[in-house]
A and B are shown apart, each in its own frame.
Chain A
């Protein structure tokens, strides 16, 4: 099972929930930081890093001598990463999405594969938790290509070691967030009961609903703000799987890089119960799918 921990608004507690869930999970579990623009899960799990590698994407390199300026590559590219100006061909590697279309369509075979570095993938262990993260290269504008490399690595780790995965997703509802949750079996939406939290929670719920995956809410900083999120969840039938209180001790533990499930028996119990709720949600969805099949 793959669980992604997402949110519309940033700073609602995705990493807090991911780290705590991983710490109480039973059986092999992989904690994955897919917030590659600013990964921070490692600050809480303190993994021993076992290995790292750079990830790359293919970008076009044109051999001018072979080019007849037919313009096929330029017309195909929706991002203008390659542009035929009739007397020369320009490439803008930083704008390339790596589809390889220009190389495939060129009738003169004048375009070969160069590479653009996307960032680094690293992995290791934190106690009994397998750890995996991506870190985007400074200056790289697109995170989904690196995220796809991290997810491919996760697939290999799951094949080799089995178990479940908990993904710390990037905030928001744009391509990176969608890319993080799209392959999950269960999507958790962490929110806080403030107007900002609610507004972005609704956006996230609407963005992820088309994936037709079981979704549940985790209310962080419960006691703050108002009941708009609770009423919305009740109206839409979104189960609230856990509530984490608005409590100075939790903020202090977070600021020291501690896993909050390990700071009190009550909080540990909250996350053990959350784990049970997630597993029940996945089983329920599995039964529904089997009934449809």
Chain B
């Protein structure tokens, strides 16, 4: 069973990908085999003064995902995700979660080698 998390503006596959990782509205955890989803609200992380990317990493790591798909990922989040062995797919904003997952399944998402956002953004 392979699960991935997609930063999402809402709880369904037809919601838009939230471009932010740490301060995303939430994460849609998708089981790639069954396409079953589970939504993790990230509202409490959004209001943190600092450390949002790290807190968000805790949430997705505890959900047991192997990939995160998002728009932008900052340096501390990237470091934490890498340490947790989670791959990062970036620059997937401007589409629905379903579109992002389909692109991923078709092999159209690369595992990022570096963060694409400065800290605190």
Residues of A within 8 A of B (CB): 74, 77-81, 83-88, 90, 92, 95
Interface assignment of B98: CB less than 8 Å from any CB of chain A: no
Q: How far is the CB of B21 from chain A (nearest CB, A)?
A: 14
The 8 Å CB contact of A80, one of B51, B61, B62, B84, is B51
Q: How far is the CB of B54 from chain A (nearest CB, A)?
A: 4
Instruction: Bits for B89-107, please: 1 = Cβ < 8 Å to A, else 0.
Output: 0000000000000000000
Q: How far is the CB of B67 from chain A (nearest CB, A)?
A: 15
Instruction: Bits for B57-68, please: 1 = Cβ < 8 Å to A, else 0.
Output: 110011000000
With a cutoff of 8 Å between Cβ atoms, the chain A residues found around residue B57 in the complex are: 83, 85
Q: How many A-B residue pairs have CB under 8 A?
A: 43
Which of B54, B57, B80, B84 has the most chain A CB within a 10 Å cutoff?
B54
Instruction: Count residues of B near A (Cβ-Cβ below 8 Å).
Output: 17
Instruction: Bits for B40-62, please: 1 = Cβ < 8 Å to A, else 0.
Output: 00000000111110110110011
Q: How far is the CB of B62 from chain A (nearest CB, A)?
A: 6
Instruction: Bits for B8-48, please: 1 = Cβ < 8 Å to A, else 0.
Output: 00000000000000000000000000000000000000001
Besides A74-B58, A80-B48, A92-B76, 18 more A-B contacts (Cβ < 8 Å) are A78-B48, A79-B49, A79-B50, A80-B55, A81-B51, A83-B54, A83-B80, A85-B57, A85-B83, A86-B62, A87-B84, A87-B85, A88-B83, A90-B54, A90-B83, A95-B50, A95-B51, A95-B76
